[in-house]
Structure formats: structure tokens, C-alpha cells
Structure 1
Amino acid sequence: MQEMELLSHKTEPVGDKHLENWKLVDSGGFGRVYKARHKDWCFDVAIKILHDGVRMSLCDEAYHMDKGSCKFVVGLYGTYQGCPLGETFPQQGLVMEFMMRGSVQSLQKHLSGPPVWPLVCRLAHEVALGINFLHSQKIMHHDLKPSNVLLNDDLNAKLADFGLSRVSTSALNSNRETSGVIGGSYKYMPPEAFEVSYDPVRSFDIYSYGILLWSIITGKEPYPLADYNRVELRIPKGDRPCCQGIDLMREREGLKELVDLMKRCWDGSPAKRPPFKDCLKVTDNVFSKHENRIRDAVDQVLTRLNSPTSNQSHMSMASNVPLQTPEQSMSNDTVDGPFTKPERSSIQDCVGISTRRMSSTDKAKFVDVNKATLIQDVAMVMAITEELGDMVHPEAYSLIDAAVTTQKQMRVLYQKSLHSGGEEVKAAFYDALKKHQPALVKRLGGSF
């Protein structure tokens, strides 16, 4: 393992004698990731061990992580040699920074959607900063997706999983090495990557970033029901994730700029995709408009994550959206609230919610009786407000979005919409609350 020796300047290999409190935190076809406490350093680390068949990827990942080290890439502390959790045969692995808040993917599952808008803008910017740095070091990530964007204590984004990285052939101007196997998640692969003879270049990451932007903005998985064969067929024909839900997000400052960037990044022609320096001009400008609200946004999300009623099933709410051509994504098809009618039915089936057992009068009474608790405990205010659609006046929507805490958002929603809208609006609010925070409705005695 020649590349592993390049890390010797960092530290001597970490062995079992240095580690305690082992816990398996992730496993899959690639291998295993453990959390352990380093006895001398006195903080938790992540130990990544790959299966024997892909052990060489560990060397590649170590080399690229070391070379691509920056504040937007998960930190590499050194190497591991030992027998984790009493395994019989010695293993080699990487000792990395432990990211206690999981990934963008796990955050979406906990929140049943995207985080509050200022955090969306920061995530988009930090990912672009990380990829831009890697490209400046002539490194590709080559597997950019929500599960590989990890989050630290303050929900800052750091890139992980360089096992599929390649040295960018376009940057090195060297002979291309043809690979018959394209790594990474197929839903984030550009159309040209489905060709067997494709040689990965930096435009691969740019396309993946466009799909990732869609996922960060919507909080959903692209093409949730499409298998590899369908994606391989339709993506080269111009299909991309559906943008109807984004169109209904309306007055989010910077949304138009991020959507325009997203569509430029996922352009079918690699030559038309913007380099990451150009992406950064957009994401930096958008994030600067919300930077003074990021602390409150992070606190709001952390409060939600730490709440005992936080989406206890951790069920993914990825919508059932078919593949869609760019022309279709610009259409003005009629939708039922922020979701198409098939989507809404699918989501209700997933969480087992029925709205038929209570009348509109009963739902309105529930909203009135529990006002104080709802103001205190509702965390998904903006998602619920968007569900109400035209029932919330644009001026009221702006006031709700501008409020710095969920409690203030709920007070404005009560004052501007629930009180004046009558039984119909309160019943719609109840239905939206059941979908986004079913545990809270159940705790307050709502009908299921």
C-alpha cells in the first residue's frame, strides 16, 4: 500500500490499543464505518474499513483525502491497523473526522424535506467550495450525492467518500485511462457517463452538483422509482428531475439564481456546464443574502433534530415523480398544492394518514384548542405554509418566511391566516400538520 505510506507524516498507524467504545455506524457493499473514542486524543473518530475486494480504493481515497484536505472535506487523521470489534483477521483502514450529524441524506429523512432556506443556501455554497478546491488540486470526487455530503455539529457541509475519485484527466493533460465501469450513483451520473468508453472528467462532478442542488432544494430523491435501466435510457434523451414543486416555492430570495445554476450544471452538453469558479459566484451571492440568518436557521434545525417528536419513523418522503424532460419542467401543469395529486396520495399512503375520520369542524377545533402548544412545538412551519398554497396571502407568506424562529412563524401564521381564514384554512393546516409532524398530532390527541 504505497499510498498509505504517504500519510506517515501525519501520525503512526492507530491501533486497537488507542481506541475504545467502538460502535458500527454504517455498512454496505463498500465495507464498514465505525465510531470510536481515541484514548489519547480524547475525541471520537470514524474508522473506515473497505472489503478486501475494493481495498485498493482505500489507498486511493487516503491519497486524495490527504491531497484534497481543506475545511470543506472530511478530515483525515491517519491510518488504522487492527481487528475492529474482535474480528479475527487484521484490517487496514482510515481514521477520519467523525461527523456526528450524519449526511444531507439523513437530514432530509429526519426533516421529511429540505431544511430552512438559509441553510439550503449555505449547503449549496459549501459543497461548491469543496468541489472547486478538489478540482484545483486536479482531483475529481466522482460520487457526489446527498449521502456523501456529511454534516458537522453546526451542520456545515464536508465532502466524503473519495473511494471513487479519479485524477481529472482534463486537468492533467495526460493520457486517458479508459474504464469500463463507471462508479458512483447512477441517478447523479451525466448522460455521457452511460457510454462504456467514457473517460471521467471534471464536467462529471458539475452535472452531479446540478442534481444534488435539486435534491438539497426539494429535500427529495431524484427519480425514486426509476431503476438503472430506465435512468440510462431517459437521461441521455434529456429527462431531468421534476421542477414543479420548486416553482411553487415562490418568493425565496435567491431561488431563481440557484435554479438557473442547477439547470446549467445538468446541461446535456458537458461544454455548456459552468466551471465551479462560476458556480461559486452564484452560490456566494445567494448565501450572502441569508448569512445573517444562518445562526437562527441552524438552531431551528438542531432543535427539530433533538426533539423527541422528530419524525420518529425517519421515513423518506421522496416523492413519486416520473422522469421529466426540460420542456416539461418549464410547463404550467395544474398541481394540487405543492405536489401533484399522485404524489400526495403516495405520501399519505406511506405514513398511514387518513383525513376522513374528522370533519372540517373537528379539525378547526383542534387547531384552536391547541394553539399555545402548536406555536411552541410546530417545527415544519414553512413546509406547512407552502402546503396551504393560495390560502396564505403573499404578504403573509413573506412575513412568515422573514420570522427568525418557528415560534414567531407560527404566531404570524395564526394572526394572518388561521384566524381570518376560517374553518377551511384550519382544516387544511391540520391535514398538512399530520403529514409533516404526525407524532405531534398524535400526542395532542388528533385522529389517525
Structure 2
Amino acid sequence: MPPGITTFAADAPTLSAANTGFMLICSALVMVMTPALAFFYGGMVRVKSTLNMLMMSFISLGIVTILWVLYGFSLAFGTDIGSFIGWNSDFAGLSGIGVTQLWDGYTIPVYVFAVFQLMFAVLTPALISGALADRVKFTSWALFITLWVTVVYFPVAHWVWGAGGWLYELGVIDFAGGTAVHINAGAAALGVILVIGKRVGFKKDPMRPHSLPLVMLGAGLLWFGWFGFNAGSWLGNDDGVGAVMFVNTQVATAAAMLAWLGYEKLRHGSFTTLGAASGAVAGLVAITPSGGAVSPLGAIAVGAIAGVLCAMAVGLKYRFGYDDSLDVVGVHLVGGVAGSLLVGLFATGGVQSDAKGLFYGGGLEQLGKQAVGVFAVLAYSLVVSAVLALILDKTIEMRVEEDDEVSGIDQVEHAETAYDFSGAGGGLSTRSTPPGPGTSPAPTNKKVDA
């Protein structure tokens, strides 16, 4: 039988209704993270870019879902080819998978594993979009997603999680996507913005979030969905590892939020809602690769370190002049690198594996493996993403025209606006029928006070 499908020998695992139901719920939670990200990013941009920001996340649900069914699942989790990519004709189109066939060594159907991993694939390119706010053609973005998941995400997912993938075989620990998701997306964001350039008015015009309530709503929904993202990545909870990951997700996120706010207060004198939301996301990012390897005390350390590092990193764009609109590089790349490397320090050897970090007597071996994984994914995604952006920019152009960017990308790309203010301040009464019984006569052609 091909890798990834369990045979029905006497000692083979049997389907668990509890684990199957749990994983379906986790898949739905991860799906919610993409619209949550849309709210998070949508609130951070100016009014004139709100709908475009929402759509840049939302379109990923359509494009990546179809690609995953056609060939993405096969490339990421099919039979290994040279430790770089996978392929399995039974997985292409999900056409050769029986409804009762179980994922390799687990008690859940292959279909359930496939849909769970699909939601990861959907979310990852959506993360990139925050760095490109205000200035990218929607058609070009859709084509970039198509190319990027094909030549970057699917191969990297195989490296990290696929049987035979070279980082998987090396022993790199990535519980739920520090390398495959966050470093991958953050490096891609940096590669693209270096090609397409800065927004009009960068470092000159105020570009403040237009709706901090939307940002907080998005961050809260991301926090909620992330429990499925992280705890679900153990593919069941028969041995308690998923429960540890659930606890560590909450603990690290809380620590990162507090650390970010503390740094912000010392550095800038205020506790901001944007800082609280960004700090929480930084903690979620950092615990994603490490939460299955550390204790709750280790999770506090991971979250606090990531919160401070990411808070410091978001200012680098002004120093070095790259326009990372919504701090994808500062939060996802830096947070992913921090969380992945901290496994090499705080891994206890008593949770998901027996690998120990430096602080638990394991020496530098695991830290070295983590560094290889971090910088391999970072370099590959950065270079290939920049090349893809350059090709698109030279052919169909990535950016909207400067006048369109200034006037507002929502109207240009979507023929809509996020908010309708046409009724603000009142208007003329349009009632033309007689008032009903017991009502006062309606004024005619008189301005109605708002």
C-alpha cells in the first residue's frame, strides 16, 4: 500500500470515532482562522483598502482548496521523491482514497487528515497578504497564490511533515507549522515587498488602523481557532500530548501579550490595543512549532521572549526601508524563527519526543537541527517568492497604478466600499403614502435630522 494509508492487518489501528470527530472540529477551527485573519488585517488598514484586504485572505479559501484536491495533497504527503517532494496518484483528485482508509498509523480517515492539512495550506498564503496592503492588483495576487502554494508551500510541507521529507528525516521539530507556515509566509512576504516596493507615502503619510475593534475581533478569533491549529496537529489525544499543546498555546499567548505590552509601555509610554492584539499573535506564532516539546513554564519563556523580540522587530522596516505594511515579517517571520529555535533550548524530552534542548541536558544537537530547518525554509521561500513576484511584475504587473492606490484600491479592484456614509447627516423624506392609523402625518420635502 502507498505511504499514508494504513493496511488492515490484525495489529493495524482501527477507526476512532472520538478522534475523528475531534479532528473534524479542529479542521473547522483552523478554517475560521482565515476569515479571522481577514478581520485582523482588515482593521489595520485604512478605510479605502478594507475590502481588498479582506478579499486577499478570503480568496485563498477558494484557490487553495481546489489546488489541494487536484494535486496539493499528493505533492505534500504522497510517496517521497528525493526527499524534496511527494506524489501519489491515489491522492491526486482525492480519487483513490476509500472512505474507511486510515491515515498512516493513526485512527482517523485519510479524508480527515487531508481536510485538516488543507486548512493549513489555505491560511499560509493569506498570511503573506498583510505585507502587501494597499498596492497589489487582485488578479496578480490570485495568480501569485496559485504559483506560490505549488512551488513553495507544497514542497516545504513535504520537507517538514511528509514521510521521507529531508527536514522530517533530519529530526527538525515543528509541531504545527513554525517553519512550514510562519517562517515560510514571513520570508515570502519579505521577498515580494522587496520586488514591488513601498506604498505611496510610506514614512510620510499617517497609515493608522481604521478600526481597532475589528483588529481585536480578528485577534480573538485567531486565538480561538489556533487551539484547533495546534492541539489538532497531534491527530488525536490518546496520549495527552494534544492536551499539553492546548495548555501551552494559551500560556504562551498570554505571556507574549503581556511581554509586548510591557515593552511597549517602557519604549513608547502606552499600552495599546494594537500592541495587545499583535503580542497575542506573536505568542501564537512562537508556540506553534515548540508547544509539543516544552513544559508550561517553557511556554511562558517562549511567549515572553517572542513577545519582546517581535515588538522590537516591527520597527526594523523603518530603519531598513522595506514596507511591510502590517508587520508580517516582524511577527510571523521573527516569531516563527524564535519559536523554532527555542525548541533547541527548552525541549524537555518528555512530551512529543525524547529530544532535549540545551537547558535540559541535550546539548546543542537539537538547536543545530532547528537552525537548519529555519534557515533552509527561510532562504528557499525568500528567493523563490521574490522570483515569482518579479516574473508577475514584469508580465502582468503586480501593482495598481499610483493614482488608483492614492484614491483607494477598494473602488478600483472591487467597485465597492467597506462603509456607506451616504445617509450620514440626514436626507430627504421619501414617504409618499399616507400615514397609517394612529401615526402623525409625515413631513414632506423636509430635512430629517440625523
Q: Which has the higher strand share?
A: 1
Of structures 1 and 2, the one with the larger relative CO (CA 8 A, separation 6+) is 2
Q: Which has the higher helix share?
A: 2
- TM-score, normalised with respect to structure 1: 0.24
